Amino acid sequence: MSNKPKKKKQVRNKARDAIGDYYKTGREYDKDNRQRQKEEGASTKGLKNLNAMEKTCVAVIVLGLVGIVIKYVIL
């Protein structure tokens, strides 16, 4: 009887791979888009140059700040 150690089956996290690919693709697309806009000279100021995810994050932060003000200052 041989005492060879059994090889463990390598587990792949498919969800992590899919999310990672989606994130990398989004970053590359955003980088290319911003570079193209910069080359064309299309400069926007303020919140106009944000992508959908960034706008969502700004909205959540603003709503959170409003909630904090209401909770601690007004009430």
Cα–Cα distance measured from residue 54 to residue 43, given in angstroms and rounded to the nearest whole number? 18
What is the structure's pLDDT at 5? 74
Quick check: 32 pLDDT over 70?
A: yes
Cα–Cα distance measured from residue 63 to residue 70, given in angstroms and rounded to the nearest whole number? 11
Mean pLDDT of 21-48: 81
Quote the mean pLDDT of the chain: 83
Kindly list the domain boundaries of the chain, sorted by start residue. 12-43, 45-75
**47-67 pLDDT per residue, tens:** 677 778 888 999 999 999 999
What is the structure's pLDDT at 47? 66
DSSP result, 47-73: GGG--HHHHHHHHHHHHHHHHHHIIII
